[in-house]
Amino acid sequence: MRTIPHWIGGAPHVPDGCATAPVWNPATGDTCAAVPLGATAEVDAAVQAAAGAYAAWRHTSLSRRTEILFRFRDLVASHADGIAEIIVREHGKVLADARGEVRRGLDVVEFACGIPQLLKGEFSENVSTGIDTWSVRQPLGIVAGITPFNFPAMVPMWMFPIAIACGNAFVLKPSEKDPSASILLAELWQRAGLPDGVFNVVHGRKEAVNAILAHPAIAAVSFVGSTPVARAVWEAATRSGKRVQALGGAKNHMIVMPDAAMDEAADAAISAAYGSAGERCMAISVVVAVAGAADDVVPRIAQRLERITVGDGFDETSQMGPLITREHRDRVAGYIERGMNEGARVVADGRALHVRGREAGFFLGPCLLDHVTPDMSVYRDEIFGPVLSVVRAPSYEAARDLVNGNPWANGVAIFTSDGATARRFQNEIEVGMVGINVPIPVPMAYYSFGGWRGSLFGDAHVYGEEGIRFCTRAKVITSHWSATTPERAALNFPTAR
C-alpha cells in the first residue's frame, strides 16, 4: 500500500508507527493509498522548518522571488495533466473538471508572478518641511492554509502562491481524503528553486488543525470548509492572536425571471448544480423561479438531466463522477427521501443509478426537487451533492428577500433579459459574489473570492489584492534629515508646518 508522506523542510516524511487513514478511489470504492495523520509533533517540525527558511526568504529580492514563481508556474502548467489525474483518482471528479481546477489555480500563480508591482507602496514628499512619509508592506512570517477535499489543487493555490510571493513561509494542511496533489505541488516548488522549508505539508485531522490554530509562531491562517468549522477556526485562531480568513459553506441561489432565456437558464442550472457532483462551494443548489418561470424552466432542466452521463472520471464520456466517500453519498441520498416526506415533488431521483463495472463506487445520479419551501431540510441544509431544489416565488421582491434572508451569502445569480432588473439586483442583493446570466460567478485571480454572512469569518477574502493585504502588514515610515541640530527639544505633538 502506497503511503503519501508529509513534506517538511524540503523532504518527504513519514513518522515511524504513526496512525494512518485510507485514501479511497471514489469511482471503484477501493483503497488506493494511506496517509499519515500528523499531530502536534509534525506541525511543530513543519513550523520549525518554516521559521528557519523564513529568515532568509523574506530578504530574498523581488526579482529572485518572481523568477522562482515563474518557474513554478511553468512546472505546474507542464504537469497539469498529471495533477488532474491525481485529482480524479482521489476525488472522483471527471478529468475535464480536474483540468479546469488546475487552470484556475494557475491563474492565482500567474497573478502572484506580478508581486513586484503588487507590493509597491506609497510615497509623499514634504508632508511637513523637510519630512517625507512612505509606506511598505512586509511579510507576516509563517502563514498556514487548511483546505477542503473538493478542490485539492485549486484552493491551496488560492493561498500559498501569494503568501510565498509576499515573503512568507507556508504550512499547508490539506484534506486527508485526497492529499496527493499537495505533495506533487511541493515537489514542483522544490524543482522551481524554492528554498527548503518555505513550503511544507502536514496531513491530518482535528489534532493537526488544532495544533496549527494554537501554534504561537504561526501568524495567519487561511481556511476553506463548512460554516460550523469555519466559525470554530476563526474563534480559536483569533484567540491565539492570529490573522484569519475562514471561508464557510453556502446555499447558492439562481433566480430565474419570467423574461429569461429559458434554454440558457436550464443549461446554466445543469452545469452549476451537477458539475463535480455538486461538491463545490459555488454550486447552485437552489433555483428560485419567479412567477411562471418554473413551468418553463423545470421541464427543460428535467429533459437535460436524462442526457447526463455519470461514471468514472477517467472515462472521457463521463460528465459527472462519484461523491468523495460512501458515507457522504449516503448522507446526500437521504435528503431525497426527506424532501419527499416534507412535501417536495421529486422530479429526478438519482438514487437508482447503476454504473456498470463500478458497482462499488460512491455514485449518486442527478436529483431534482420541485415545490421546495424554505422550511424544508433540503433548503435549510448545505447538502453538498448533486441535488437541485426549485423554490417558486411570486415576484422579484420575494426572490430577493429569500436570498437576503438566507444565513449563507457566498454566491448568487440572476437570469433575466431586463437590464434594469439586473442592475437593481446587483445593488440590492446582499451576497459577496454576484452573477448576471452567469451561474458560477467565481472571480478571476486579480479580484478576490469571498462571501458574506455565514460564508466568511474574518475581514479578508482570498487571492487578489485582498490576498496581498492579508499576507502582509503595513509599515509607515516618516523621515527627516537635517543639516542643523535644533537648539532645544520640542515636546509638542508633531504637526505639519
Q: How many residues does the chain have?
A: 497
User: Of 18, 113, 166, 281, which is the active-site residue?
Assistant: 281
Neighbours of 236 (CB within 10 A): 18
Neighbours of 3 (CB within 10 A): 13
Task: Report the alpha-carbon distance of residue 213 to residue 247 in Å, rounded.
Answer: 15
- Of 91, 433, 166, 151, the C-alpha closest to 280 is 151
**Known catalytic membership, residue 18:** no
Assign 3-class secondary structure to the chain.
Answer: CCECCEEECCEEECCCCCCEEEEEECCCCEEEEEEECECHHHHHHHHHHHHHHHHHHCCCCHHHHHHHHHHHHHHHHHCHHHHHHHHHHHCCCCHHHHHHHHHHHHHHHHHHCCHHHHCCCCEEEEEECCEEEEEEEEECCEEEEECCCCCCCHHHHHHHHHHHHCCCEEEEECCCCCCHHHHHHHHHHHHHCCCCCCEEECCECHHHHHHHHHCCCCCEEEEECCHHHHHHHHHHHHHCCCEEEEECCCCEEEEECCCCCHHHHHHHHHHHHHHHHHCCCCCEEEEEEECCHHHHHHHHHHHHHCCCCECCCCCCCCCECCCCCHHHHHHHHHHHHHHHHCCCEEEECHHHCCCCCCCCCCCCCCEEEECCCCCCHHHHCCCCCCEEEEEEECCHHHHHHHHHCCCEECEEEEECCCHHHHHHHHHHCCCCEEEECCCCCCCCCCCCECCEECCEECCCCECHHHHHHHCEEEEEEEEECCCCCCCCCCCCCCCCC
Residue 317 burial (10 A CB sphere; 0-12, 13-18, 19+): exposed
- Which sequence positions are flagged as catalytic? 281
